[in-house]
Amino acid sequence: MHVEVPVPAPAKDEVLLKVEAASLNLLDWKLQKMTWGSSFMLQFPHIPGIDVAGEVVEVGARVKEFKAGEKVVSVLSHVWGGGLAEFAVAKENLTVLRPSQVSAAEGAGLPISGLTALRALIEEVDIKLEGSGKQKSILIEGASGGVGHHAVQLAKLGNTHVTATCGTQNIDFVRRLGADEVLPYKTQTLIWLL
């Protein structure tokens, strides 16, 4: 389906992005399936995609952190979305500069899943990403998935021994991410291996 919509204008606290890459995550899927309940209604045409990477083309009057031409990563409003369009608006406080060594495709995969992994490790497990503190051992289930593959890499920045689970077809991938031990999740004796 193709729908033409006008290029959005940024509000005072927003940046207008030329979208270079977008990723879809569980939240996008739930929004399209309307699993949030009947009281949550999208306005159509709804353009999916809340995780994006792109180039700033215009800034709102109060935006101080960004200027046109800068490469960024952002989380768009879950209500308005827009990441699968050519242009999208993003709040300044939900946007960060994208390092030159990070491609647009890599950057677009970071916001929701990357922040979920980061928050879990820092707030729930108390892992110090700079490597300080007592070594911890953690189990990351679904280590080849959206949140899991970020969690493995972030945990290894800390002083952490990572045991991970994934499907047999992804064991080598998860090892390359840095997991110390990788177990196939369908192993019936998994609990005994731990």
Give the confidence band of 16 by pLDDT, cuts at 50, 70, 90: very high
Six-digit token string for 91: 């709040």
Write down the pLDDT at residue 93.
Answer: 94
With b meaning 16 or more CB within 10 Å and e meaning fewer, what string describes 36-70? eeeeeeeeeeebbbbbbbbbbebbbeebeebeeeb
Write down the pLDDT at residue 44.
Answer: 67
CA-to-CA distance for 50 and 18, rounded, in angstroms? 14
CATH of domain 111-193: 3.40.50.720
pTM of the model: 0.77
- Read off the pLDDT of residues 36-48 as tens digits, 9 standing for 90 and up: 455 556 666 778 8
CB atoms within 10 A of CB 135: 9
Mean pLDDT of 155-172: 94
Mean pLDDT of 164-172: 96
Listed by start position, the domains of the chain span 14-108, 111-193
Fold for 14-108, please state it.
Quinone Oxidoreductase; Chain A, domain 1 (3.90.180)
Write down the pLDDT at residue 43.
Answer: 64
Write down the pLDDT at residue 131.
Answer: 82
